Amino acid sequence: MILGVVGSGSSPSNSRRLLEEALAGAAEARAVERRVECLADLRFRGCVGCRACRTYADGCVLRDDLTPVLRATAECRALVLATPIYYGYASGLFKSYLDRWYSFRDAGRNLRVPSGRPALLIVTQGHPDPKAYAWTLGSLEKVLAAYGFEPRALVATGLEEGGAVDRSPELLARARDLGRALAA
């Protein structure tokens, strides 16, 4: 299964549109189950720092709508993540999801999830400069790598309005190509 996780609740959403294009590309490369989770549709908390996952528990002890999404994240063969830039970083929804990944390591800091899985990180922003949030991108890629994923990224710039990405066939084609490569 290839899992897509969207960190925006906008409608239309640039990040969701690119994620769906990437998943369509993945399906072109191979017959694979696809699942999309939109974080804005879920009721969940961010990590509260209880550290149960890193002491006595075998995973995150919070039980909410993110619980099955964390399980799917742990089990998928590849991951597509999409977030808009909010004030220079990922959206709060997306950051809260990523923080809950803390439970993907145990008390000995050993990974509870497989390593070597490909992940595509799609970042959308209004700013026209793809390097404007380079630190943010690097930081998100480091988190992915810390949990064993092999990240690649698409920075989609100049997308101030919802739906703007539909006027950029080049960005849509890049997302599709990256999705195809992810599944190949």
Ligand X SMILES: Cc1cc2nc3c(=O)[nH]c(=O)nc-3n(C[C@H](O)[C@H](O)[C@H](O)COP(=O)(O)O)c2cc1C
Residues that bind ligand X (CB under 6 A): 8, 10, 13-16, 84-88, 124-127, 159-160, 162
Min dist. Cβ of residue 140 to ligand X (A)? 14
Min dist. Cβ of residue 40 to ligand X (A)? 9
Instruction: Yes or no: say if 150 and 181 are a contact pair by the CB < 8 Å rule.
Output: no
Min dist. Cβ of residue 135 to ligand X (A)? 12
Instruction: Yes or no: say if 125 and 133 are a contact pair by the CB < 8 Å rule.
Output: yes
State the Cα angle at 54 between 51 and 58, rounded to 5°.
110
Which residue intervals of the chain are DSSP H helices? Answer: 14-29, 66-75, 92-99, 134-146, 169-183
How far is the C-alpha of 31 from the C-alpha of 184, rounded, in Å? 10
Of 10 and 96, the one with the shorter C-beta distance to ligand X is: 10
Min dist. Cβ of residue 12 to ligand X (A)? 7
